[in-house]
Amino acid sequence: MIALMKRILTVSGTYKGRILLAFVFSFLKSLLAKAPIGLAFLVINAFSSGSVDASFCLKTGIAMLICVILQVIFQHMADRLQSAAGFMVFADKRMELGKHLRKMPMGYFTEGNIGKISSVLSTDMVFIEENCMTTLADMMSYIFAEAIMLLFLLCLDWRIGLLALVLVGLVLLTARSMNKVNMEDSDKRQEQSENLTEAVLDFIEGIGIIKTYNLLGEKSKELSGNFSQSCRTNIEFEEDVAPWQRRLNLLYGAGSALILALSFWLYAKGFLSAPYLIGVLLFLFDLFGPLKALYGQSARLTVMNSCMDRIEDVFAQTQLPDTGTLTIPDASDAPEVEFRNVSFAYGEKDVLHDVSFSLKKNEMFALVGPSGGGKSTIVNLLARFWDVKSGQVLVRGRDVRSVPLSDLMDHISMVFQRVYLFQDTIYNNISMGRPDASREEVMEAAKKARCYDFIMNLPQGFDTVIGEGGETLSGGEKQRISIARCILKDAPIVILDEATASVDADNESYIQEAISELCRGKTLLVIAHRLNTIRHADHILVISEGKIVQSGTHAQLMEKDGIYKNFVTVRQSSRGWSQRNGA
């Protein structure tokens, strides 16, 4: 528990001071909460000695009133300092996590970690921020209260105090074993929470396919299975805690009986006076109360520990280094883009093998080849979504690893096949390309992207809020808005990743016009399968099995047998790429 407290204080950052100050008020509140017992002992002792008078009763009453008032004040101060601290700490932590994820290699988001990230944000952080400060305040209050009780007993009689210390030590040892079991169960509980989140996301994202292929029963069964497993995991968690709670309750009862027996024995032998015996009884009935309350929350504490482990695990993932200090020059005699002997692997799986090529300014390079050959990996390495295993990727002679990521991304625009728009206004979705752009510039970009007319036909025009992912727009409309965003950004290098592969014929002509506006005066790296896009490229690279197997213009490649010529033949027959056709 002390370790958990240290962990939470470590992540508290600038709020650590106010939390520590709250601990001081918690201690004072705990001290005053036990003061009535001490005052009761003084009253009993006064009655025994016959020294009770009106003045003594008045002073005792005033002291009791002061204790109650101060206790309320200190409780208020502790709550005021701590109540919002958890939410403020984890508001900052979420922003920190966003910055951390922004610097992660894209591979991290394709290794089944989406469920973990969602679970950390929606479950782990929420659990801690809602419970940590209240739990910490209670925990410190219980610890202080227990220490005060032991100190009082030691003052009353050292033998009784020593026995109480031994019994409290036995409780702590038992609780330590309980917490080990709880930690294992907490890890399982949070892992299942992650699995459930992953299953829910998978079900929601795939609902269209599930309905189309009549898989509702099968997929619903899979989702229901995760809900059932979560239920079983939580019940097992409680079942494992219960026996340990019973053992602790037996210790509390047996400990109280032992202290009571020792107290009466000392009284019978004349080592303890009647007032002191009554004083021991007063403290005894509340001796194990703080520990009982503290370990009654042990399940919550271990879950918090498990949540902290999972949060720290995400933060521990290695970021792409962003220590570059060089800048990309405005003009250079070097190629606009160059790959030098680049090799890359996803974990142990090699994807690119010694790839080398270069693009001059304003050239259009087309990457073609079978699926899985490495085309998307090449453009992702240029945008530095990953770092190369060996070799270099250069922009105007600068290794992309030697420049800040922000500077690199200022020079690159990407239009993806699968467009994602945020649940925000269309204006804000376009202005992401250049946040400082004027409204006139945003509208001009929309006109160039051939999306101005349909935007103006929407209920609020540019101020229309679109659904998450742009779900309220058609695929072609979303694509044109993403192109408008890139036009506004006006980066010198443009990457088109199957930008027209999934749009309907009605939208294709608009998108081709929008792309023509985007690409004017730019260096292009295009992944495409449409002949009317490829044939006009200045250079075509045929990528297969992670290697450049052919290179040249459309006319040059058509003069020799190989994958490209086979592709054109297949394409004209509307059969598409195939490994059997020369790959």
Integer angstrom CA distances of residue 34 from 77, 150, 347: 19, 12, 60
Q: How far apart are CA 142 and CA 412, in angstroms?
A: 58
Residues of the chain with pLDDT under 50: 575-583
The DSSP string of 517-567 is HHHTT-EEEEE---HHHHTT-SEEEEEETTEEEEEE-HHHHHTS-SHHHHH
Tell which residue, 357, 156, 148, has the closest CA to residue 276.
Answer: 156
Identify whether the C-beta of residue 533 lies closer than 8 Å to the C-beta of residue 501.
no
Q: How far apart are CA 418 and CA 430, in angstroms?
A: 16
352: which strand partners?
344
Q: How far apart are CA 581 and CA 561, in angstroms?
A: 11
Integer angstrom CA distances of residue 278 from 47, 264, 271: 12, 10, 14
357 three-state secondary structure? strand
Tell which residue, 522, 551, 530, has the closest CA to residue 414.
Answer: 522
Angle among Cα 45, 48, 54 to the nearest 5 degrees reads: 80
The identity of residue 15, as a single letter, is: Y
Note the pTM of the prediction, 2 decimals.
Answer: 0.64
215 secondary structure, DSSP code = -
What is the total residue count of the chain? 583
The tens digit of pLDDT for each residue in 269-300 reads 888 888 788 878 877 877 888 888 777 777 67
The tens digit of pLDDT for each residue in 433-443 reads 888 889 999 99
Cβ-proximal residues to 418 (8 Å cutoff; 6+ apart), any chain: 502
Q: What is the pLDDT of residue 341?
A: 93
